[in-house]
Structure 1
């Protein structure tokens, strides 16, 4: 077993050596990757900072002369990512541990994000009690708050670093019999307001022999699904909940970025895409809603989440964008329209029920979608059993036509 420690030996040498010693005491081999660009390393690493810089197409001398710390950290992150990815492909790496402040947290987590899901990744960081999204993104990285700065080995840092190292040792040494399957895997997207549909669809798909992975459409969830599609983990997509596009268009907090809906289209795998929760844009607590939206239809979902109803104009633009994304697909694609509402809040008597806005969405989708995309219109609500069965039948048919069914 081999664990790579990614860290700056010019400033954190003592702490990295301590983590190394804890890991080696459990019988694990340790490989030190030095990412320091300020001074000489405290001890000889297994992979030098020069080698890391070279993997990013530069040198430590060039980075020092530039005098731009941000540029240096970006380059060392790129180089460390290339190095650990190569060792993983060669079968020489079982986990990655990082220690540091904001600089090496950026570098080490960049390396961790280059590794497949499931490879143990632990980051001990002074940044771990705040917003960790820039470091974790959509990868399975464990962030452990260092409590005190990582500066010297003392009674507190010994405990925290030991815990991290022993957690890593447990993950790489444990022979957990994780069930593997050769069943085709379907990615589904879900929001709280589309849960009944996705739960029914998941059960139906699993009854037919598929493996399912459900992603929470909160920005990172959509990006995670796109990544797994690109990596070939997912064989088909039931994209019930495309709400992240509403946040991308209007400026909400749960956007998955402009590449959302690209991966399945580019890989050409079977996909059925719907309009779940396109009636809403997400913000934080009510007092965080931008002033320009305060007179819009708002719904406090919980103390931390406020939802805003999309307008007919926004829905029309969403329809155009999604239709054009699907039209560009290289594989079998269907667009499913739940004509009686796109979320729990978009039903008769509910706060977001707005037939005119829904009609604008559906009309734009019909107008802009290409002839190669099958249009499935279901006279039912998105959360009805009838709609769930319709989209599952459609995807199953496309999987079988592509010879990708169980």
Structure 2
């Protein structure tokens, strides 16, 4: 067993050396990767900074001479990612640990994100109590707040670093007791307002021997699914909840980026897609909603989440975009429309019920879809059991 520790040995050598000693005392080998740029390492690395820089497409002296911290962090992060990826592919890496401030965190987590889901990843960081999304993205990185700065060893830092070191030991030294039977795997997307649909479809599929992986359509969820499709983990997609495109178009906080809805089509795997929760754009607390949207229809989901109803004009553009994405698919693709409403809030008597806005979405999809994409329409609401089972049966037929 081997743990790779990624860190700046020119500034954090003492602390990283302490973590190494704790891990080695448990019988686990340690490989030190130096991503420090400005000085000589305080302890001997196994992979030196010059090698890391070269793997990142540059050289150490150029980084030092330029004196651009941002560029150096990016280059060394890319180099570390290349090095740990190669080590994992060759069976030399079983887990990865990082510790440091924002720069260390950026470089170490760049390396961690290059590794597949399931490889143990642990980051001790001074920024772990803040917004960690830029560091974690859609990877399975565990982050621990360092409490004190990682600057020297003391009774507090020793305890935190030792706990982190023992945590990564536990991860790599234990075989998780999880089911690993080979089953066809279907990726699904869900939001709170499409939960009944996804649950009914998932139950039906699992009864028939499929493995399902449900992704919360919060931006990172959609990106995670797209990434796992690219990795070949997912065999088919039941994309019930395409709401992330509303945030991408209008400027909400849960966008999955402009590539959402492309991975399945490029991979040629079967996909059944619907329009779940395209009636809403997501923001934070009500006070955080940009002034340009004043006068729109809102629903305060909780103190941290405010939903805004999409307009007919926005829905027409969403229909055009989604049709364009599906038209590019190389595999079997079906779009299913629930004409009775696209979310819990979009039903008769509910706050976002707006037949005109929904019809703008449906009309745009009808107008722009190519004949290669099968279009199925039903009068049901997205959360009606009949619609959920129709989705499940359609993906089952493809499989």
Name the TM-score class by shorter chain: over 0.9
Residue of structure 1 equivalent to 2:214? 214
Q: Distance in 2 between matches of 1:43 and 1:120?
A: 24
How many residues were matched structurally? Answer: 399
Residue of structure 2 equivalent to 1:341? 341
Residue of structure 1 equivalent to 2:108? 108
User: Which residues in structure 2 correspond to 1:177-216 (within 5 Å)?
Assistant: 177-216=177-216
Residue of structure 2 equivalent to 1:402? none
Q: Distance in 2 between matches of 1:333 and 1:57?
A: 39
Spell out, residue by residue over 1:122-144, the C-alpha distance to the aligned partner (whole angstroms, 9 max, x if none).
00000101000000000000010
TM (norm. structure 1) is 0.98
Q: Distance in 2 between matches of 1:280 and 1:296?
A: 11
Question: How far 1:4 sits from its partner (Å)?
Answer: 0.3
Q: Distance in 1 between matches of 2:57 and 2:294?
A: 49
Residue of structure 1 equivalent to 2:28? 28
Question: How far 1:177 sits from its partner (Å)?
Answer: 2.6
Residue of structure 1 equivalent to 2:391? 391
Question: How far 1:178 sits from its partner (Å)?
Answer: 2.0
Q: Distance in 2 between matches of 1:296 and 1:181?
A: 49
Q: Distance in 1 between matches of 2:390 and 2:376?
A: 8
1:294 aligns with 2:273: no
Q: Distance in 2 between matches of 1:305 and 1:332?
A: 36
Q: Distance in 2 between matches of 1:196 and 1:257?
A: 26
Residue of structure 2 equivalent to 1:14? 14
| 3-state SS of paired residue (1:324) | helix
| 3-state SS of paired residue (1:272) | strand
Question: How far 1:42 sits from its partner (Å)?
Answer: 0.6
Q: Distance in 2 between matches of 1:178 and 1:171?
A: 14
Residue of structure 2 equivalent to 1:404? none
Question: How far 1:67 sits from its partner (Å)?
Answer: 1.1
- Name the Cα RMSD after superposition: 0.5
User: Which residues in structure 2 correspond to 1:128-143 (within 5 Å)?
Assistant: 128-143=128-143
Q: Distance in 1 between matches of 2:79 and 2:64?
A: 16
User: Which residues in structure 2 correspond to 1:348-363 (within 5 Å)?
Assistant: 348-363=348-363
Q: Distance in 1 between matches of 2:43 and 2:229?
A: 42
Contact 2:346 2:354 in 1 (8 A): yes
Spell out, residue by residue over 1:265-304, the C-alpha distance to the aligned partner (whole angstroms, 9 max, x if none).
1001000000000000000000001111121000000010
Q: Distance in 2 between matches of 1:47 and 1:179?
A: 36
Question: How far 1:179 sits from its partner (Å)?
Answer: 1.2
Q: Distance in 2 between matches of 1:65 and 1:266?
A: 42
Contact 2:218 2:254 in 1 (8 A): yes
1:250 aligns with 2:250: yes
User: Which residues in structure 2 correspond to 1:271-290 (within 5 Å)?
Assistant: 271-290=271-290
Residue of structure 1 equivalent to 2:228? 228
Question: How far 1:323 sits from its partner (Å)?
Answer: 0.5
Unmatched runs of 5 consecutive residues or more in structure 1: 400-406
Q: Distance in 2 between matches of 1:86 and 1:126?
A: 28
Residue of structure 1 equivalent to 2:70? 70
Q: Distance in 2 between matches of 1:17 and 1:67?
A: 27
| 3-state SS of paired residue (2:118) | coil
Residue of structure 2 equivalent to 1:332? 332
Q: Distance in 2 between matches of 1:383 and 1:60?
A: 57
Runs of 4+ in 1 over 3 A off after TM superposition: none
TM (norm. structure 2) is 0.99
Unmatched runs of 5 consecutive residues or more in structure 2: none
Q: Distance in 2 between matches of 1:149 and 1:44?
A: 23
Question: How far 1:185 sits from its partner (Å)?
Answer: 0.1
Contact 2:14 2:43 in 1 (8 A): no
Q: Distance in 2 between matches of 1:175 and 1:244?
A: 36
Question: How far 1:176 sits from its partner (Å)?
Answer: 2.3
Q: Distance in 1 between matches of 2:334 and 2:321?
A: 15
Q: Distance in 2 between matches of 1:113 and 1:163?
A: 22
1:56 aligns with 2:56: yes
Q: Distance in 2 between matches of 1:219 and 1:181?
A: 29
